[in-house]
Amino acid sequence: MDVKTGFFYLFSVVLLYAAFRVITARNPVHAVLHLILAFSQAAGVWLLLKAEFLAITLVLVYLGAVMVLFLFVVMMLDIRFDTVRRGFWKHFPLAAFIGALVAFEMAAVLMTGFRGVEEPKAVPALVNAAGQVLPYSNTQALGRLMYTEYLYPVEIAAVILLVAMISAIALTLRQRKDVKAGDATAQLRARASDRLVVLKMPTTQAPQPPADDDAGAQEKKA
């Protein structure tokens, strides 16, 4: 067994363990951490398959953004485990049936789906104008395919993702009564004359005590 095969078995064992812990961990934070470990091991397997672009995309997008977001969201949520576990056995038969169906479909695809597929042919070497042979790059080949033959599907996918992002923001953007927030447009249109009003009030003198009271007070002291 060579080094490449050893790393493949190592990544595979850790990946299976992490995937198993994702669905069996009681703490959702631990489940997210094991999912991060599973994605990192999958990136290692893709590196062994010489798909470095997919591996670095998995690390940057999922580990660097999505999983961190999931981790913060799970830590901020107030999850009540007693209510979550209350209906476990009630929905267990349906969940077991769906899981068995998914496993059967994956096994059918893996055993019979690749029989009619031809083996990948050798990639022709890239030669520049000077006649020099350039090293082959998966990233360069993938970028050429995405922005030449598959340009319209990429643009459609980008529009769909943009619409989904705007819809998610519109659905979650609600006005809360317990949050004090100012209107930025109203603040920009504000003028000094609207904020400060000078009132002219007549001047009044303090009332003087009558003289009889002063004389009576002096007599009492005497």
For residue range 16-25, what is the model confidence (pLDDT) as tens digits?
Answer: 999 999 888 8
Is residue 131 situated within a structural domain? no
Domain at 68, CATH number: 1.20.120.1200
Same domain, 1 and 68: yes
Is residue 218 situated within a structural domain? no
Is residue 59 situated within a structural domain? yes
Q: Which domain does 167 fall in, by range?
A: 137-171
Digit-coded pLDDT (tens) for 23-43: 888 877 888 889 889 999 999
Cα–Cα distance for residue pair 66/187, rounded to 1 Å: 36
Query: What is the value of pTM for the model shown?
Result: 0.54
Domain boundary among 78, 96, 118: 78
| Counted domains in the chain | 2
